[in-house]
Structure 1
């Protein structure tokens, strides 16, 4: 007699909204909060995500400590410079992963006269990993595995999705996938059932989940998940395109469930740790400028 097989958890939309944008002072151009800055308890392990349009000179040399960033280039070119000698240019479809760890110091800029258009996600680190070494990893679009299916494709930047492993080597494992769908086509994305997750619609229009929640371009949705679920079990997220060229980014990660204190360029567990980070930076412990 065969054992009963548990049906995968079916994801639905928990909350949704559309990004609101504001004009900025040059050389910054426009900003919108995909994940607003004051809801990190809902988004855990994610803290915030900003969508920015900017030119060279907007994000010069600056420090970070206590978290990770995942930067997706939508359009234009992004130059990364760090004080460990790293320098590279990222183009549309490329992603940069940074583990700030104990002391990152870098710059992120548009190239020449380009307007860089990026999504930057701040991803928390658990307390016991906030002083890990600083790591930068560039993930180029052409080196990222793509799984094609009838009516679309899924590109996997991080985690194991659609039977392939993304190249991102995150300190705290996450999944990041880009799903492309032609109008009328559907795809079911597998995600670990205990991962908190959200999606962002880059273009087109999509029905999300079993309840067919409709979202168009600039739409954001947080998704239901199994808070105490099995880390080895998968859940299913169904996406169906209602317009041509629908493109959706899906992020997931396991909640850390620790106190979070984001302040300026640092994310720590207490204000005392924030003050120590500022003190260490002022005392030169983050190293020389990134120029």
Structure 2
């Protein structure tokens, strides 16, 4: 297997995030992954980039999916109704398995403007009733691999020969790649993982076609839909500017019908209605305060 030729990934589609001003205490929002594209993005439902202050995301429920929240700038306070409370800083990531019934709050700290990326990662139908879990992955706890001209920090999955600390209940990788100008890196990902990347800063050339993307650029990547999870594919990246920083996300498609509605992601509208009823009936527990 080690001698088998790896599939080289290319860019399927790309776009730049468009932002809109929000009503205070929210400040600005952009859809990195618009929810209407969830079918082609499976297992990803959406990803939002938000700037906000305290009071924007108070106590609210979730069911049926997972969130991965990356803090770009400012401080983010997480509170859940299971007694969890913590403050995350730039480079920290929080993983939440909403499972059957999460209830939490996410807010800026004091006068900070929190700047975050939140990804919604779907759960297969047979795991939508799993236990609610929260895990904070601090930047210093994510292993970093150095190479000529840069580093790769691994938050989740087996990447660059190291395993990230995030304990996702579905196959998922998240890595942050930092490159100096003209530096190159070849990232390896399971060949059957759907994947996308987001440019946080600088400019990068992606894949064999050298598709160029600048800050706020998003690219979806080719993959082997019926591939082997044990085989790896490659993604070539080259920086055209110094301080180029790219986040790469990948996950195995679930291939199920999905109904995303409000704070819930289920498989049928009847299940969505039941989630709202369960919340009204108090089955999600007390508020997160």
* Superposed pair shares fold, TM > 0.5: yes
Tell me the equivalent position of 2:233.
235
Q: Secondary structure at the match of 2:83?
A: coil
Q: What's the offset of the Cα at 1:247?
A: 0.1
Q: Does 1:117 align with 2:111?
A: no
Deviations 1:108-132 (A, max 9, x none): 0000000000000000000000000
Q: Secondary structure at the match of 2:90?
A: coil
Q: In structure 2, how many angstroms separate the alpha carbons of the residues matched to 1:160 and 1:59? A: 32
Tell me the equivalent position of 1:135.
133
Q: What's the offset of the Cα at 1:173?
A: 1.7
Q: Secondary structure at the match of 1:38?
A: helix
Tell me the equivalent position of 1:167.
165
Q: Does 1:246 align with 2:240?
A: no
Q: In structure 2, how many angstroms separate the alpha carbons of the residues matched to 1:162 and 1:12? A: 19
Q: Secondary structure at the match of 2:235?
A: strand
Q: Which of 202, 205, 213 is matched with 2:203 structurally? A: 205
Consecutive unaligned residues in structure 1, runs of 5 or more: none
Q: In structure 2, how many angstroms separate the alpha carbons of the residues matched to 1:249 and 1:261? A: 27
Tell me the equivalent position of 1:261.
259
Tell me the equivalent position of 1:218.
216
Deviations 1:14-53 (A, max 9, x none): 0000000000000000000000010100100000000000
Q: What's the offset of the Cα at 1:100?
A: 0.1
Aligned alpha-carbon RMSD (Å)? 0.9
Change in 2 beyond 3 A, CA 1:63/1:4: closer
Q: What's the offset of the Cα at 1:5?
A: 3.4
Structure 1 residues 145-164: aligned runs within 5 Å: 145-164=143-162
Q: Secondary structure at the match of 2:226?
A: coil
Structure 1 residues 1-291: aligned runs within 5 Å: 5-291=3-289
Q: In structure 1, how many angstroms separate the alpha carbons of the residues matched to 2:184 and 2:146? A: 13
Deviations 1:74-110 (A, max 9, x none): 0000000000000000000000000000000000000
Deviations 1:189-227 (A, max 9, x none): 000000000000000000000110000000000000000
Q: Secondary structure at the match of 1:178?
A: strand
Q: In structure 1, how many angstroms separate the alpha carbons of the residues matched to 2:35 and 2:171? A: 22
Deviations 1:125-167 (A, max 9, x none): 0000000000000000011100001100000000000000000
Q: In structure 2, how many angstroms separate the alpha carbons of the residues matched to 1:117 and 1:211? A: 32
Q: What's the offset of the Cα at 1:4?
A: 9.9
Q: In structure 2, how many angstroms separate the alpha carbons of the residues matched to 1:213 and 1:6? A: 26
- TM-score after normalising by structure 1: 0.99
